[in-house]
Amino acid sequence: MSKKIGIPRGLFYYQFYPFWKSFFEELGAEIVVSDHTSRKILDEGVKKCVDEACLPVKIFFGHVENIKDKVDYLFLPRYTSVSKKEYVCPKFGGIPDMIRNTLSDLPEIIDTEINLRRTEKNALKAAIEIGRYFSDDNKAIKKAYKKALISYREFRQQVKKGIFPGELLDNSANRVQNRNKQNFSPIYDMINIKNEDKYKNNEDKYSEDKCDDKCNGDRSEEDNNLFNGKNRINSNMKLNIAVLGHGYNLYDSYCNMNALYKLRNLGANIITIDMIDENIINEKSNLLNKKTFWYFGSKIIGCAYHLLDRNDIDGIVYVMSFGCGIDSFICDLVERAIRRNKNIPFIILTIDEHTGEAGMDTRIEAFIDMIRWRKKYESDISSHGKHVYMCQSSAR
Ligand code: SF4
């Protein structure tokens, strides 16, 4: 009978699951993934985890609790580094110990260290150590490793095309998507630079909105219509919104209260870090005076700098977890870079276990509304409209 290995649907699940799935299946193991994140899983995690931990770690605890009684092994690798010269957050390294010392009645834990800081060759070394739980044959383990790499690269390619990992890996995102299918915008548009023209046309359309009527204190016909609610801002206008944040905050729909899908539903084409070429991100992250050695930090900074080079971004959303040390300063660096260089509309959505969905909805809707208004009335200065500005100019 094949051995069952439990993989919690949290933290690096949205990044590396395709790799481990292929690897373990090739070695004949049966994979058990925890259920989709839910209120029950979150509550369980909050109850068992230390108060100071961030939301994704608490959720991870809930996922472990959800599968621990169904499997022979729990797969909780000790991720120290997943790329050269960079470290992941120390909480990843501490997860196996935190779980071991907090939860009871656990099966055997596979907590092999994965540390690619010096060399990426260590990945194979770690894979062999992990594979030994299921096979004594080194050749078979190496073969499984190679196959897993192919699956992982295919997965990354799909994500680069604009498909969220959640859509590829689990059904929760798909369920959300199907429910709102008729309102969804094509997600590939955003990353297709050729579409810049398309968006430019939109911009042209809205910048044509010139003040050609005389400054006589009266509202123009268009403003009258707007005032009377007859003329609305075009909600079909496509917006290119970049969403920054850690994968587990972005792709776990429960964790972020469907933020990505809500944005999409409001007509936004979404781009995330995983949809941008890694070489570009690495190159850009080197522009920081002192390169951050945190994996997540350096990716987010690199991505933000890349976005500043583009002319097709209408807004940037930063999804951060309350209590995340890395986000607390990376988010600030990103915000300063945006304000100094381009002044693209920017919003921070902070999530924790208390965040109310209504508050999240309001902020997202207001952000998108504000961008649409800005695109239409960018040249206006006074909140009273262009007429006041015109009056003041002519009085000087
Ligand atoms: S990087 Fe931040 S959000 Fe992620 S596990 Fe560490 S503290 Fe939590």
Distance 92 CA to ligand 1 centre (A): 8
**Residue 323 Cα: closest atom of ligand 1:** 7
In a domain, 388, yes or no: no
- 146 and 182 co-located in one domain: no
Last residue of a domain, one of 122, 141, 160: 160
**Residue 320 Cα: closest atom of ligand 1:** 3
Distance 188 CA to ligand 1 centre (A): 29
Distance 326 CA to ligand 1 centre (A): 7
In a domain, 395, yes or no: no
Which of the four pLDDT bands, split at 50, 70 and 90, describes residue 221?
low
Q: What is the pLDDT of residues 40-58, one digit of tens each?
A: 999 999 999 988 889 999 9
- H-only helix segments in 132-170: 138-160, 165-169
Closest C-alpha residue for ligand 1 atom 1: 89
Contacts of 258 (CB under 8 A, 6+ apart): 176
Structural domain for 249, as ranges:
168-377
In a domain, 392, yes or no: no
Residue type (1 letter), 311: N
Q: What is the pLDDT of residues 289-325, one digit of tens each?
A: 887 888 888 999 999 999 999 888 999 999 999 889 8
In a domain, 343, yes or no: yes
**Exposed/middle/buried for 284, CB within 10 Å: 0-12, 13-18, 19+?**
buried
- 74 and 140 co-located in one domain: yes
In a domain, 393, yes or no: no
* The total number of structural domains that make up the chain: 2
Question: Would you state the pLDDT for residue 51?
Answer: 86
User: What is the average pLDDT score of the chain?
Assistant: 80
Contacts of 308 (CB under 8 A, 6+ apart): 337, 338, 341, 342, 344
Distance 247 CA to ligand 1 centre (A): 11
Closest C-alpha residue for ligand 1 atom 3: 324
pTM, full prediction: 0.79
- 96 and 225 co-located in one domain: no
- 30 and 121 co-located in one domain: yes
DSSP string, 25-41: HHTTPEEEEPPPP-HHH
Contacts of 123 (CB under 8 A, 6+ apart): 114, 116, 145
Tell the residue number behind the tokens 């570009």, with chain if given. Answer: 280
CB 257 within 8 A of CB 351: yes
Distance 219 CA to ligand 1 centre (A): 52
Distance 91 CA to ligand 1 centre (A): 7
- 153 and 186 co-located in one domain: no
Phi (first) and psi of residue 319, to 5 degrees: -100, 115
Residues with CB under 6 A from ligand 1: 54, 56-57, 89, 91, 246, 296, 321, 324-327
- 131 and 241 co-located in one domain: no
- 127 and 257 co-located in one domain: no
- Which CATH number is 349's domain given? 3.40.50.11900
Extract the tokens encoding 87. 């470290």
**Residue 294 Cα: closest atom of ligand 1:** 1
**Exposed/middle/buried for 74, CB within 10 Å: 0-12, 13-18, 19+?**
buried
